[in-house]
A and B are shown apart, each in its own frame.
Chain A
Amino acid sequence: MRIQIDGRDVEFEPGETILEVARREGLEIPTLCHDPRLDPAGACRTCLVEVDGWRRMPPSCATKAQDGMVVRTRTERVGRHQRALLALYLADHVQGADACETGAPCELHAMAAKVGAPTDWTPLEPVRVGRDDPNPYIEFRADRCIACARCTRYCAEVEAVTAISLVGRGSKTTIGTVDASSLLDTSCELCGGCIDTCPTGAMTEKRPLLQLAPPERQLEKVRTTCNYCGVGCQLDLNVDPATKKIVKITSPPVGTPPNDGNLCVKGRFAYEFVEHPDRLTTPLVRGEDGALREASWDEALDRAARGLMGVKERYGADALGFVSSSRCTMEENYLVQKLSRAAFGTNNCHQCAAT
């Protein structure tokens, strides 16, 4: 089965949308409400394309490719539509990229520049109302919201939590919770996936805002593996280049294994231990006087090995037991059982996630 996109003959699999086929071919179609993890909504209207024989321009994200279809994404009509649509979005938004992008980035400004949208349309009176929410992590800024419903759909379709919903109607449509309550009083698990999927920074991390940290686009991203559990989620530490401190954690792009852009509350928000004064950064051993003192790794490991071997010699290997943590990776767990069985000779080994 084949379709033609901008003059190119392309094969497709049944069920693929025009957008999926186009992106696979490297053709760029702008989107705002699209997230491959979600069912298409066709609501933001940025991805409209022309299809020969169709009177109206369909949303490419929600329209399945059909054999013989002729699609045009670069016509005068599509271009005019994109420019006027983005001009409307900008008129209903915080004016100017710098004023807007104080937290998570906003795709509108760059997209408007790319399609050549006018940026001088008369700004509208702000009408959307946010809500005070004492939760420590997630800030919703209604003046940046484009009501694309990615956050609410993500919450329902990916997390199956449904803590938030589109609320109100018309120009006042916004994102809300039941009775405008705090996320803490809802089914919200504070995974922050709403922040990750939000295309305009309306959903953003609260702590960096309170700390007046630089906006996300000025931060350096350092890819690492989450150490809270063994899944191995990839995450990006966002580091302030001036202070070299972590400002926040974001998830890598959708499609990155194993977590596909998803994180949990611990992976996304529980990073303050990194800089915490109580955190141990060198091994400690107990001296003759019974007090802990700093030691080298070699010294500490020797001490631990001596102690364990001492127990084995006095009481036998089965007097020992080894329990590893769910925070360990699979490889680390493997090594712990190797240590238990091969080095000390006992099968008393366990992992805290095993039941």
Chain B
Amino acid sequence: MARHPKDRAHILERVQALGGLTPGVAQQVARETGVPEAEVYGAASFFHLLASPDTKVRVCTGLSCQLGGASGVLAAARAAGWPVEEVSCLAACDRPPAVMRERDVFVEVTAEDVARADGWASLTSRAEPSLDWTGAVGPVDADPDTLAMNLLAPPRYDGAALARSLELGAEAIVDRIEASGLQGRGGAGFPAHIKWRGVRQQAETARYVVLNADEGEPGTFKDREVMLRRPDLVVEGLAIAARAVGADDVYLYVRGEFGAPWRALEAAIERLAGPLDGLRFHLHAGHGAYICGEETALLEALEGKRGMPRLKPPFPTEHGLWGAPTLIHNVETIACVPGIVERGGDWFRALGRTEPGSKLYCVSGHVARPGTYELPLGVSLDELVEAAGGYVGTLRAFSPGGASSGFLPASERGTPLDFKHLAKAGSMLGSAGVVVLNDEADLGFAVREQLRFFEVESCGQCAPCRIGTRFLREAVDQYRDQHRDGGKPRLRQVAEAAWEMNEGSICGLGQAAPLPLTTVLDNFPEVFGADPD
């Protein structure tokens, strides 16, 4: 048996250090840690960066990378005989197509780059040879006083916000968070102060703060940009949160594909070492699993287990990491904290238009300057795309919040992109990863790719999601291949399966997974014919 639950937390990084799940590795890690070998193997097999160690090159097949030519790169790599596989979104939708060589992500890779390389190990991108690339951010002419994060400003390492928070005291900090109206920026939009108070009121004194930097929703790359450009905000925000809820240990779960953001966070923790005195920061790498962006799946992965979401309630505020009260937030949510502490909740609240605060919108697909734009929460698609240099072609459809938000028609271009209005439109703001499709895009293909994404990334724990994602994807494939097998019943099956996925799934992945198909059936009936049986 493992000597302490925390010993188990390192089994996945040990498997990585030993080169992934090759024969004998799980047994070795089991011997080192006391965790049963079947559990080491089962946990590691969950994460695709560990489970297929022979794959050296991974081509992103997220929707934006597909629009940017990923299939040509994939075909070239296959033709070259490389050990290559498709991979779910690499969070580089603004600079497509992205390719990962081992754990290094290159962007704007072309088929010529593949042809030019002397074997997979020497693949680079001619357009962007650096691994420390960043994306476009804006708007460039914004008044800094209207931005909660301001990605164009240089990082600050004076620890001023943390010092201010110590003057204010814990209760006043949480009051400011409440006054700011800050909603979780990871996708759910849950009021942040409720979590903070939830942790503070627990009797248990061992508490943790966890950073969710497992950004992976297709179309989303804002957290990457925050960590690269303003890691100071993230680290300081975490420190403020830890002081406010009474935690001494902060865990940062950074997706395994984020080498450069990891280095940026590490450096920021180093530079803020003085003000952070007494707090322990622990960096943990993810190993390839979108579902670990779900907060309880992330906690499981941190504990060295398969990343399967927990049943809720209880929520992490009460029963989180190792069962202790845990405050867990998305990168952007945390990055808003220093500004709120320094300038007040009312200032932050007023930055928004229809809902509080400024918001990082990621925009990719058919726009002139894909990138991350900090705008008042509640701008319309047209305003966002204007900041991004305008549409390329004629707008047909857009996905306002990543794959989980489905597709909305051009007629919704004026709808405020916020939590409330998009929910009313049958979609969601989610992570605000906006993907724009013009009238040349194959919407049926787009649906198919989003469904495949959920199928691949489902954790497999509950049947509605595990089976339903595959059921919908196969139904669409059969339709698109013209192998239609019967009339109306198939439509009824798809509708019923989608309903069941939403009602029966344990977590948000399965609940939202049918949206790419159901929103297109609703909003674009022509895509699958009048009767997509």
Given A91-B467, A167-B41, also A84-B26 (CB < 8 A): no
CB under 8 Å from chain B, chain A span 135-168: 146-147, 152, 156, 162-168
**A42-B311, A92-B470 known; A162-B46 Cβ under 8 A:** no
Query: Which of A124, A163, A178 is close to B474, meaning CB atoms less than 8 Å apart?
Result: A124
- A167, A169, A176, A179: which contacts B289 (Cβ < 8 A)? A169
Contact A178 B489 (CB under 8 A): no
The residue in A121, A127, A177 that gathers the most chain B C-beta atoms within 10 A of its C-beta is A121
Q: How far does the alpha carbon of A121 sit from the alpha carbon of B485 in the complex, in Å?
A: 11
Residue of B46, B470, B485, B500 near A81 (CB, 8 A) is B500
- Please indicate the chain B residues that have their CB under 8 angstroms from the CB of A209 in the complex: none
User: In the complex, which residues of chain B have a beta carbon less than 8 angstroms from the beta carbon of A252?
Assistant: none
* Chain B residues within an 8 Å CB radius of A186: 37-38
* Known contacts A44-B463, A81-B500; A167 and B493 CB within 8 A of each other: no
Minimum distance in angstroms from A261 CB to a CB of chain B: 22
By the criterion CB–CB under 8 Å, are B468 and A88 in contact? yes
The answer on a CB contact under 8 Å between A80 and B40 is: no
- Known interface pairs A165-B42, A169-B460; A179-B23 also in contact (CB < 8 Å): yes
B45 lies within 8 A of A167 (CB):
yes
Chain A nearest Cβ from B290, distance in angstroms? 10
* Chain A positions 263-292 with a Cβ under 8 Å from a chain B Cβ: none
Q: How large is the interface on B (under 10, 10 to 19, 20 to 34, 35 or more residues)?
A: 35 or more
Contacts of A44 in B (CB 8 A): 462-463
Q: Does B503 contact A (CB under 8 A)?
A: yes
Residue of B nearest to A188 (CB): B38
Q: What CA separation (Å) do A137 and B137 show in the bound complex?
A: 62
Cβ of A127 and Cβ of B470 under 8 Å apart? yes
Docked complex Cα distance between A56 and B471 (Å) = 23
B256 interfacial by beta-carbon distance below 8 Å: no
Q: A176-B42, A178-B27, A178-B37 are in contact. Are A85 and B459 (CB under 8 A)?
A: no
Cβ distance A218 to chain B, nearest Cβ, rounded Å: 29
Stretch at the interface among B70-78, B240-248, B450-458: B450-458
Quick check: B469 and A178 within 8 Å, CB to CB? no
Q: How far is the CA of A52 from the CA of B369 in the complex (A)?
A: 49
Q: Are A120 and B489 neighbours in the complex by a CB distance under 8 Å?
A: yes
A171–B470 touching, CB < 8 Å: yes
**A91 touching B456, Cβ below 8 Å:** no
CB distance from B511 to the nearest CB of A (A): 9
| Residue B466 CB within 8 A of the other chain | yes
Q: Render B29-65 as a binary contact track against A, CB cut-off 8 A, 1 for contact.
A: 0100000111111110111100100000000000000
Any B CB within 8 A of the CB of A122: yes
Residues of B within 8 Å of A165, CB to CB, are: 38-39, 41-43
User: Which residue of B460, B478, B504 is within 8 Å of A48 (Cβ)?
Assistant: B504
Residue among B306, B462, B467 with most chain A CB within 10 A: B467
Query: How far is it, in angstroms, between the C-alpha of A81 and the C-alpha of B499 when the chains are bound?
Result: 8
Interchain nearest-CB distance for A200 vs B (Å)? 12
Residues in B neighbouring A48, C-beta threshold 8 A: 503-504
Q: Are the C-beta atoms of A92 and B467 separated by less than 8 Å?
A: yes
- B429 CB within 8 Å of chain A: no
Contact between A81 and B459, CB atoms less than 8 A apart: no
Residues of A within 8 A of B311 (CB): 42, 59, 62
Q: In the complex, are the beta carbons of B41 and A179 less than 8 A apart?
A: yes
Kindly identify which residue among B39, B41, B460, B489 contacts A171, using a CB–CB cutoff of 8 Å. Answer: B460
Q: How far is the CA of A246 from the CA of B47 in the complex (A)?
A: 44
Q: Does B458 lie within 8 Å of A170, measured CB to CB?
A: yes
Set of chain B residues within 8 Å of A162, measured between Cβ atoms: 36, 38-39
B414: chain A residues at CB < 8 Å are none
Tell whether, in the assembled complex, residue B467 and residue A89 are in contact, meaning their CB atoms are under 8 Å apart: yes
Q: Which residues of A contact B27 (CB under 8 A)?
A: 178-179
State the CA gap A77–B37 with chains docked (Å).
42
Q: Is the interface of B mostly helix, strand, loop or mixed?
A: helix
Cβ contact within 8 Å between B460 and A91 = no
Q: Across the interface, do B493 and A45 meet the contact criterion of CB distance under 8 Å?
A: no
Q: Which residue of A lies closest to B485 (CB)?
A: A122
Q: Closest CB-CB distance, B482 to chain A, in whole Å?
A: 15
Instruction: Determine if A125 and B474 form an interchain contact, defined as CB atoms under 8 angstroms apart.
Output: yes
- Expressed in whole angstroms, the minimum distance between the Cβ of A290 and any Cβ of chain B is 56
Binary flags per residue of B485-529, CB closer than 8 Å to A gives 1, else 0: 100011001001101100111100000000000000000000000
A147 to B464, CA, bound (A): 12
Residue of A nearest to B457 (CB): A170
A163 CB contact (under 8 Å) in B38, B306, B456: B38
Q: Is there a chain B Cβ closer than 8 Å to A43's Cβ?
A: yes
Q: How far is the CA of A57 from the CA of B40 in the complex (A)?
A: 33
A303 in contact (CB, < 8 A): no
Contacts of B474 in A (CB 8 A): 122, 124-125
Given the known inter-chain contacts A162-B38, A179-B23, please indicate yes or no for A81 contacting B504, CB distance below 8 A. Answer: yes
Contact, CB under 8 Å: A85 / B38: no
Contact residue among B38, B43, B459, B500 (Cβ-Cβ distance under 8 Å from A170): B459
Q: Is the CB of A42 within 8 A of B485?
A: no
* Docked-complex contact B500 and A124, CB < 8 angstroms: no
Q: Does B205 contact A (CB under 8 A)?
A: no
* B37 nearest in chain A by CB position: A178
User: A177: which B residues are within 8 A, CB to CB?
Assistant: 38, 41
- Which residues from chain A contact B24 at a C-beta distance below 8 Å? 179
Smallest CB-CB separation from B478: which chain A residue?
A122
Q: Are B460 and A170 in contact (CB under 8 A)?
A: yes
Q: Which residues of A contact B457 (CB under 8 A)?
A: 169-170
Contacts of B30 in A (CB 8 A): 178
How many angstroms from the CA of A177 to the CA of B26 in the assembled complex? 11
A18 part of interface (Cβ distance < 8 Å): no
Interface residues of A (CB under 8 A from B): 42-45, 48, 56-57, 59, 62, 77, 80-81, 83-85, 87-89, 91-92, 118, 120-122, 124-125, 127, 146-147, 152, 156, 162-173, 176-179, 186-187
Given contacts A89-B467, A170-B455, A179-B26, 19 further A-B pairs with CB under 8 A are A44-B463, A45-B505, A48-B504, A77-B503, A85-B504, A88-B467, A92-B467, A92-B471, A122-B493, A124-B470, A165-B38, A165-B39, A166-B460, A168-B45, A176-B38, A176-B45, A178-B27, A178-B30, A178-B38
Closest 4 CB pairs between A and B? A165-B42, A173-B460, A84-B500, A162-B36
- What are 27 A-B pairs with beta-carbon distances under 8 A? A43-B506, A45-B464, A85-B463, A87-B493, A88-B467, A89-B463, A92-B470, A121-B471, A122-B474, A122-B493, A124-B474, A127-B470, A156-B36, A164-B38, A165-B41, A167-B41, A167-B45, A169-B46, A169-B458, A169-B459, A171-B469, A173-B466, A176-B41, A176-B42, A177-B41, A178-B26, A186-B37
